[in-house]
Amino acid sequence: MLGKFILWLTGIVFVAYGGVCLYDPNVPVNYIGYTMNGADAFVETAAMYGGLQIGFGLWCLYSAFNDRYTRSALLSISFAIGGLGVSRLIGLILVGSYVTASNESLGIASAYTFGAIIYELSTAIIALIAFKRSS
Query: What proportion of the chain, given as a percentage, has pLDDT over 70?
Result: 91
Considering only 91-95, 96-100, 108-112, 118-122, which range has the smallest mean pLDDT? Answer: 96-100
d(CA 93, CA 106): 15
Burial class of residue 37 in the structure, from the number of CB atoms within 10 Å of its CB (0-12 exposed, 13-18 middle, 19+ buried): exposed
Predicted confidence (pLDDT) per residue in 48-61, tens digit: 999 999 999 999 99
- How many independent structural domains does the chain possess? 1
pLDDT at 103 over 80: no
d(CA 119, CA 127): 12
State the residue range of the domain holding 43.
2-133
Per DSSP bridges, beta strands 98-101 and 104-108 are antiparallel
Work out the angle at residue 89's Cα, subtended by the Cα atoms of residues 22 and 14, and round it to the nearest 5 degrees.
25
